[in-house]
Amino acid sequence: MSRPADEARLRVGLVCEQLLRPAPGGIGTYVRALLDLLPGSRGGPTDVVPIVGWHRRSTLRSLSLGGARRLPVPGRILSESWSRTGRPHVDEGLDVVHAPSLAFPARGRRPLVVTVHDVLFMDFPDAYPPHGLRFHRRALARLSSADLVICPSRATADRLSSLARPPGRVRVVPLGTELTPSPQPGRVLADLRIEQPYVVWVGTLEPRKNVERVIRGFVEAVTSGPRDERGLKLYLVGPPGWDRGKAAGLLEDRGIRDLVRWMGPQPRERLRAIYSGAEALVFPSLGEGFGLPVLEAMACGTPVVASDLPVLREVAGEGAVFCDPTDASSIGEAITRLLADDTLADSCRRAGLLRAAELTWERTVAATAACYREVMEEAVGRSPVT
């Protein structure tokens, strides 16, 4: 006997391999929000089955993944196995499978939902290592097998839909944040030896993130701006990427290392304090699918300097001052403009807080659960669920 999908308690297999990476990044934050909030989501009753490669059970327990379904493929090669063969299959005993990145299995008997965070590998192929570029291109070619694709921004959805073989259904579900302004960031900043005043950059040190121009623009703002900004520091927060490029050399430069410091990745509570204590987030990325640090900074009451890109205008709204990410001088001028104009900074701060209040993980998760219901309703129409 069939049952209406909107009354069923769905059993969703969520690929959680991103959480096993040394630096899970923004996708890891997204996966954790889905894992934690889906069971109680107002989008409908949902049971989540984490899906991972073969890892030690102790490792999984340490990440609250003790009940995960372990596949018979080592985690380090699971994505490549899916990319090349689509195997192993994962949908046994599930209603829906959700891959929150381009690492996804072949569609089996159950609906497949895939989140595409960006297609920047099409626009910036030189910003990816050769094996990464091959992986992403194979994934894009396989994407038409998905029942539904989720994109975090309209800009990303439009770019995806402009490609030669777009998937049939694309839904825009913005990312969210749980962060709020830290009432007393001083203790965390002192523990980290962060000196105020400062601006902060957050991300992975890799070419697309434009760290070299961030550093050069900041130094220009400090040393030659119309306002004396001596004493201002720049802190870079995030893991090393596949290629730190010229940024690594700049960090060792005698004239720069007293102004700029790389902090490495930081846990969420520390990151909240770092955002909250900063004069601004500087985020002139060359390309983004969403730009989660922009939202996180705004949620902490911190104004933003961001690339003048459609996606970052979509996310930040009036909470940012925009710059040309290809021009270090433009980045420096935007930093100087924001820090020299208290009225502008306050306006960005207020607008950012209002915008961030619209983009919560609860809303993200509810909209994602609605996507599961959508594909399940279609599946029920084709084949009764008993």
Using CA atoms, how far apart are residues 312 and 261, in angstroms rounded to an integer? 25
| Range with lowest mean pLDDT among 61-70, 160-169, 273-282 | 160-169
Task: Specify whether 198 is located in the same domain as 143.
Answer: no
Task: Specify whether 275 is located in the same domain as 310.
Answer: yes
Q: How confident is the model at residue 385, as a pLDDT?
A: 45
Q: Which of 264, 309, 279, 268 is nearest to 291 (CA)?
A: 309
Q: How does pLDDT run across 9-31, given as a tens digit for each residue?
A: 899 999 999 999 888 889 999 99
List phi, psi (to 5°) of 156: -70, -40
Token pair, residue 286, equals 């060359």
Contact 150, 116 (CB under 8 A): yes
Q: How does pLDDT run across 84-132, given as a tens digit for each residue?
A: 999 999 999 999 999 999 999 999 999 999 999 999 999 999 888 899 9
| C-alpha distances out from residue 75 to 9, 15, 19, 52, 359, Å | 29, 11, 11, 7, 32
Residue 5 falls inside a structural domain: no
Give the confidence band of 384 by pLDDT, cuts at 50, 70, 90. Answer: very low
Task: Specify whether 42 is located in the same domain as 172.
Answer: yes
Task: Specify whether 171 is located in the same domain as 229.
Answer: no
Task: Specify whether 191 is located in the same domain as 311.
Answer: yes
| Range with lowest mean pLDDT among 24-33, 251-260, 298-307, 326-335 | 251-260
Q: Which residue matches tokens 């996507």?
A: 371
CB atoms within 10 A of CB 80: 15
Using CA atoms, how far apart are residues 267 and 112, in angstroms rounded to an integer? 32
Task: Specify whether 199 is located in the same domain as 347.
Answer: yes
For the beta sheet containing 280-283, the strands, ordered from the edge strand earlier in sequence to the opposite edge, are: 260-264, 233-237, 198-202, 280-283, 304-307, 320-323
Task: Specify whether 247 is located in the same domain as 116.
Answer: no
Q: How confident is the model at residue 243, as a pLDDT?
A: 59
- What is the distance, to the nearest Å, from the Cα of residue 295 to the centroid of all Cα atoms in its chain? 10
Domain CATH number, residue 295 = 3.40.50.2000
Q: How does pLDDT run across 143-163, given as a tens digit for each residue?
A: 999 999 999 999 999 999 988
Q: Which of 202, 153, 179, 184 is nearest to 298 (CA)?
A: 179
Using CA atoms, how far apart are residues 218 and 122, in angstroms rounded to an integer? 29
Segment 300-327 mean pLDDT: 98
- The domain in which residue 152 lies consists of 10-176+361-382
Q: Which segments of the chain are extended strands (E)?
A: 10-15, 46-54, 69-74, 96-99, 112-115, 148-151, 170-172, 198-202, 233-237, 260-264, 280-283, 304-307, 320-323
The answer on pLDDT for 57 being more than 50 is yes
Using CA atoms, how far apart are residues 320 and 334, in angstroms rounded to an integer? 10
CB atoms within 10 A of CB 134: 15
Task: Specify whether 140 is located in the same domain as 267.
Answer: no
Q: Which residues contact 2 (CB under 8 A, 6 or more apart)?
A: 380, 384, 385, 386
Residue 4 falls inside a structural domain: no
Task: Specify whether 269 is located in the same domain as 162.
Answer: no
Task: Specify whether 23 is located in the same domain as 169.
Answer: yes
For the beta sheet containing 69-74, the strands, ordered from the edge strand earlier in sequence to the opposite edge, are: 69-74, 46-54, 10-15, 96-99, 112-115, 148-151, 170-172
Task: Specify whether 90 is located in the same domain as 128.
Answer: yes
Task: Specify whether 18 is located in the same domain as 80.
Answer: yes
pTM attached to this predicted model: 0.92
| Count of domains forming the chain | 2
